[in-house]
Amino acid sequence: MSAPPAVELRFSNLAWLLAGLALAAAPHTARLPAWITTIALVTLGWRAYIAWKRSALPRKWLLLVFMLTCVLGIYISFNTIFGRDAGVSMLIVLLGLKLMEMKSYRDVYVVMFLAYFIALTNFFYSQSIPTASLMMLTVLMITASLVSFQAPARRHLDNLKTGGMLLAQAAPLMLLLFFLFPRVQGPLWGLPQDAYSGISGLSDSMTPGNISQLSLSDAVAFRAKFDGAMPPRRQLYWRGPVFWNYDGRTWRPGDMRLRGGTYKFEGFGQPYDYSVTLEPHNRNWLFALELAATIPPRARVTADYQLLSLPPVQSRIRYEMRSYPDFKAVEADGNEDLTAALALPKGLNPRTLQLGQRWAAEARSQGNPTEVIVNRGLDLFRNGGFQYTLEPPLLTSSDTVDEFIFNSKLGFCEHFSGAFAILMRSAGVPARIVTGYQGGDVNPIDEQLIVRQSDAHAWTEIWMDGSGWRRVDPTAVVVPVRVESGMAQAVPAGQPLPFMARTDRLWLLQIRYNIEAMAHKWNIWVLGYNPERQREMLSFIGMDAASWQALAMALFWGVGGVVAVLALWLLRRMRLEDPVQRHWQRFCAKLERAGLPRAPSEGPLDFASRAAAHFPQHAALVGGIGALYIDLRYGVPADRTATQRLGRLVRQFKL
């Protein structure tokens, strides 16, 4: 095997490579410590300078010291050298150092492959369409650089074209492999701690008054698509974590979620069928409209009607659901449920306790005491001067509920639902907190209901003897518009709002809806393409329960077919290259069949005159063909009509 070409690290070639590298690493700058970015910029600039000035590369020992310093720095920054962020930092530092000692052909390839890797690592953080487009551009530039190192003298625009052509021809293969390559559900091994840092407007505890600002994130929590009509907005309660235990400040789930649930309720009326596409949030929660009548695969339901996925939701998943908005959760699993739903932290919130006990005493004589108590509670919130705000004051005393009900009276759903539940428990009515999302907005482009993190909500459920758990949303009483038309109407003017909740910039909203509809398609077909979807798609094209062997065969033939078509297209044009030559060869073949082969060294002029002498009856035609061929082949560049004339003459020539 001959040696690869000596690499010529000319500035013009290197500049494109460095630009490609910079592009690959660019999105990381926002996520990694500033010093990593600085090192990346310094090494890139330094290498470009070295190529420009044709000066010597730094010494090996210097680089080694530099490398060790960087590893130490990464360890200090991240407390580890493994994991996602530390790993990406290591890769970038490594690439920078490799650049500083890049002088051979092999080094160039190591750098290129590292660059492809770094392009891949961007997908750990974002798999959106813009990221994909940026990385596509990066891959194009790096591929064009590879070409430029093979053909250093070419203009870089040509190399870009070649790179683009290669990528374009690889696209069908990519799609085939993407859809048919047997998918395995990851992870194959343990993931670093920081592998998923999905955001959620929800958490597994709730501390009213602790956070003074609610998440205004526009990030999509999930999308839902209804098969038929959509329920009215006030029924869009998406159930999430349920909290039972209150320690005076914080609501926690309690042990209910641990117990396997028997799911007992009666649904009335028309159920709604819909599918939910849930964004990964690294928790087990699945969201469904109250109250879910089906359980998605690989999920279970708790006794408090929570849907929990068995593995944490680490990738976007899609599940089909059916829910009954009118329901009667008839039966609790036993008395201990109600005990837990009545527990109060000892000695806290004395005024609330007093108020509750007074209501209980007054209601005892009436027909339906629970109903009366609940209504008095709602009346208090409705008429007690409470105000909805996204920026409530911090509650600082130990009796936070007292402080909220009797003093500040400013808050959002967490405050209202928490205070209401405590008030009910004080009055002897079992109550619990349900968190989740409320509402959502319909994207008019694809009619998907989009539920955002800013739609996170908390409400209360109270136990009524005879009719079971019933939803009571005190926030809806304070500000009915929060539930009827969303947060934008609920928040007093002048307070910050999530972007999507604004209604004053409709054209922006329109663009945003379009982008989100596209993003949804992208999510479903590209990002959400997992083993399940692969099975669905395969059974759609008639490959039910395809084994991996069958997939491998399909892939083999698919890839083979694409390559064969490409080969036919690429190589056919090569062989049918020069029509002038083709005509001449047909002419020679005719003469050979007639017993007059052309000698290998015989020029066209000699051969034509020999043939003319041999077949005097065709002398004029043979002479014409010979002269025309010589003219076309060695004279002026062949034009189409002359070439066609040669073809015609050759066809006329018959022996």
Site for another protein in 521-550 (CB under 8 A): 526-530
Instruction: For the CB of residue 238, give the shortest distance to another protein in the complex, in Å.
Output: 24
Distance of CA 352 to the CA centre of its chain: 47
Task: Return phi, psi of residue 417, to 5°.
Answer: -70, -40
Identity (one letter) of the amino acid at 401? V
Is the Cβ of residue 171 or residue 199 nearer to another protein in the bound state?
Answer: 171
570 binds another protein (CB under 8 A): yes
Judged by CB under 8 A, the number of residues near another protein is: 71
- The Cα–Cα gap between 508 and 504 comes to 9
| 177 lies in the site for another protein, by CB under 8 A | yes
Which of 16, 78, 124, 607 binds another protein (CB under 8 A)? It is 124
Which residue stretch of 44-52, 171-179, 469-477, 621-629 sits at the interface with another protein (rule: CB under 8 A)? 171-179
Contact between 185 and another protein per CB under 8 A: yes
Q: How far is Cα 244 from Cα 208, in angstroms, rounded to an integer?
A: 14
Q: Interface with another protein includes 173 (CB under 8 A)?
A: yes
Q: Which CA distances in Å does 208 have to 14, 355, 471, 486?
A: 57, 20, 19, 21
Q: Would you call the peptide bond into 296 cis, given omega within 30 degrees of 0 as the criterion?
A: no
Which span (50-58, 135-143, 443-451, 462-470) binds another protein, by CB under 8 A? Answer: 135-143
DSSP-derived letter for residue 150 is H
Catalytic residue among 70, 304, 399, 413: 413
Concerning whether 583 is annotated as a catalytic residue, the answer is no
CB of 119 to another protein, least distance (A): 6
Tokens representing 175?
């799609």
Residue 332: which region, alpha, beta or left (left: phi > 0; alpha: psi -120 to 50)?
beta
Nearest distance, CB of residue 218 and another protein, angstroms:
22
Active-site annotation holds for 588: no
**Residue 154 near another protein by CB under 8 A:** yes
Query: Active site residue: 473, 583, 588, 618, which one?
Result: 473
Binding of residue 640 to another protein (CB under 8 A) = no
What is the identity of the amino acid at 393? P
CB of 342 to another protein, least distance (A): 43
Q: Which of 227, 326, 578, 592 binds another protein (CB under 8 A)?
A: 578
Q: Specify whether 473 is catalytic.
A: yes
For residue 455, what are its two tokens?
Answer: 């739609």
Q: In the set 37, 43, 89, 162, which binds another protein (CB under 8 A)? A: 162
Neighbours of 440 (CB within 10 A): 22
Residues in CB range of 335: below 8 A, 6 or more apart? none
Q: Tokens standing for 313?
A: 């939701």
Catalytic residue of the set 415, 457, 520, 583: 457
**Interacting residues with another protein between 583 and 602 (CB under 8 A):** 600-601
In our burial notation (b when 16+ CB lie closer than 10 A, e otherwise), range 510-542 reads eeebeebbebbeebbeebbbbebbbeeebeeee
Q: Residue 21 and residue 100: Cα distance in Å, rounded?
A: 14
In the list 39, 50, 51, 119, the residue contacting another protein (rule: CB under 8 A) is 119
3-state SS, residue 17: helix
Q: Which of 250, 514, 581, 609 binds another protein (CB under 8 A)?
A: 581
Which residue of 48, 442, 559, 642 would you call a contact of another protein, by CB under 8 A?
559
5 binds another protein (CB under 8 A): yes
Residues forming the active site: 413, 457, 473
